[in-house]
Amino acid sequence: MHLSSAPTPTLHWIQADQPHSALWRSEAGVPPPTRVVMADDTLSAPAACHLAAQGTAMLWRGDFQNAKQLLQAMARRLDAGPARAFRRLDAGPARASRRLDGKPAKPAPDLLTAFNQHRMHQAQRARALGMLLLPFEAGHMLPLRRAPDVQAACTEAYGPSDAPYVASLRELQGLIGAHEWRKKGVNIPSLGARIHPHYGVYSPVRGEYLELIAAQPLPRGEPRGEIGFDIGTGTGVIAALLAKRGISRVVATDTDPRALACAQDNLARLGLSRQVQLLKTDLFPPGRAPLVVCNPPWLPAKPSAPIERAIYDPASQMLRGFLAGLKDHLTPGGEGWLILSDLAEHLGLRSRDQLLGWIADAGLQVLGRSDVRPTHSKTQDASDPLYAARAAEVTSLWRLTAID
């Protein structure tokens, strides 16, 4: 199945005074660079950074391993610059601490500044590193010295290839990383199994929220345990967990074809294909259920690439859509379980009062909440520009029900 959602426009360049062109691939939706020069093992990192800053792409003809080293050296140079300046804004965890009543303290304005600068730096960094390009031959073959076999990784993300194309080395590294994760899988202790994320699909690698779902008693709504909805299923991990907990029929939705293909693959591996029905649907499937679970993107900001859409959602559209439609999809006494990190509150991107307002406006009430602190490495990395917010982050399972 061809799963690539990226268009394939054309890249043009001049080589030995002759015009050349090839298909251009960018899963991040970056348009083909308009200025392209040939580059090889003689190119230094400062010269490459200079070209990238001017918007000139470098089409690599040298040794593949040297291209990797050049990209690393470029990344080091880019990280040594602006990142240093805004790291100083971060004065430690106290700035994003919680009040005694459990509500986050007013977010420090400098954390929002740090977040915006961090995003801008990330975008500039991605743009510059994306300027080192590789030529591919049909069949995803790299005609470069010491090049690895990248056929499987490229086929998984791009589908089959019957024509030459150009893509950035940075994009290829993302494809290879995703291929390795897909092969290896992510261990999910609450499921007692591994989940295999596909390229571009949200990976439950920080899976503390799954423990919350596993520990929460099933609601008393009728028909109890017979049906549950998983809204925005991604890899299918929550649907699988609900099925393993004994819900005899789970309907799982997503709008992303890659997510649905990935969920189908995982559910088949787990022998749950008959118990879980997958639907390509915006938010809810038709009908009602005593349990409706949703883990929406948690940061209301613009994604800088399609693969960030599981995390960044402008104006909290999915979260608000879920809350607004939940009441009409619950059976009497049923519960909606919303999984949500409060990182946006610490960054000043969304307030707790706003969230509570959306819940009330949707005719819902909060039955309870269970919390977990993320344990991933960034919560302990004091050099991360968003450390103060990450160190204070709590992920919650909100139990919601319709007001009678």
Ligand X SMILES: C[S@@+](CC[C@H](N)C(=O)[O-])C[C@H]1O[C@@H](n2cnc3c(N)ncnc32)[C@H](O)[C@@H]1O
Question: Given the complex with ligand X, which of 243 and 318 has the nearer CB atom?
Answer: 318
Polymer length in residues for the chain: 404
For ligand X, which stretch binds (CB under 6 A), given 90-98, 149-157, 254-262, 393-401? Answer: 254-262
Site residues for ligand X, 341-400, by CB under 6 A, read none
Distances in whole angstroms, Cα of residue 45 to Cα of each of 52, 80, 231, 266: 10, 13, 45, 42
Question: Given the complex with ligand X, which of 204 and 290 has the nearer CB atom?
Answer: 204
Q: How far is the CB of 280 from ligand X (least distance, A)?
A: 9
Identity of the amino acid at 10: T
Distances in whole angstroms, Cα of residue 314 to Cα of each of 256, 294, 303, 310, 389: 17, 17, 8, 11, 19
Q: How far is the CB of 318 from ligand X (least distance, A)?
A: 4
x/- string (CB under 6 A) for ligand X, residues 172-211? Answer: ------------------------------x-x-------
Q: How far is the CB of 203 from ligand X (least distance, A)?
A: 7
* Cα 400 from Cα 367, distance rounded (Å): 6
Residue 79 near ligand X by CB under 6 A: no
Near ligand X by CB under 6 A: residue from 282, 361, 371, 381: 282
Near ligand X by CB under 6 A: residue from 135, 232, 285, 334: 232
Bin 151: left if φ > 0, else alpha if -120 < ψ < 50, else beta. Answer: alpha
Site residues for ligand X, 299-338, by CB under 6 A, read 310, 318
Near ligand X by CB under 6 A: residue from 30, 131, 259, 400: 259
Question: Given the complex with ligand X, which of 33 and 232 has the nearer CB atom?
Answer: 232
DSSP, res 377 = G
Residue 260 near ligand X by CB under 6 A: no
For ligand X, which stretch binds (CB under 6 A), given 61-69, 110-118, 135-143, 292-300? Answer: 292-300
Near ligand X by CB under 6 A: residue from 171, 254, 345, 393: 254
- The Cβ-side half-sphere exposure at 200, using a 13 Å CA radius, reads 25
- Helix %, strand %, coil % for the chain, to 5? 40, 25, 40
* Cα 60 from Cα 98, distance rounded (Å): 50
Among residues 46, 30, 10, 34, the alpha carbon closest in space to that of 123 is found at: 30
Distances in whole angstroms, Cα of residue 209 to Cα of each of 95, 132, 189, 191: 25, 38, 12, 12
Q: How many residues bind ligand X (CB under 6 A)?
A: 21
Contact between 372 and 211 under an 8 Å Cβ cutoff? The reply is yes
* Cα 276 from Cα 357, distance rounded (Å): 33
Q: How far is the CB of 303 from ligand X (least distance, A)?
A: 11
Collapsing DSSP states into helix, strand and coil, what is residue 255? coil
Q: How far is the CB of 309 from ligand X (least distance, A)?
A: 6
Q: How far is the CB of 284 from ligand X (least distance, A)?
A: 8
For ligand X, which stretch binds (CB under 6 A), given 56-64, 123-131, 230-238, 355-363? Answer: 230-238
For ligand X, which stretch binds (CB under 6 A), given 18-26, 77-85, 155-163, 232-240? Answer: 232-240
x/- string (CB under 6 A) for ligand X, residues 94-113? Answer: --------------------
CA 390 to chain centre: 17
**For binding to ligand X (CB under 6 A), which residues are involved?**
202, 204, 231-235, 237-238, 253-256, 259, 282-283, 295-297, 310, 318
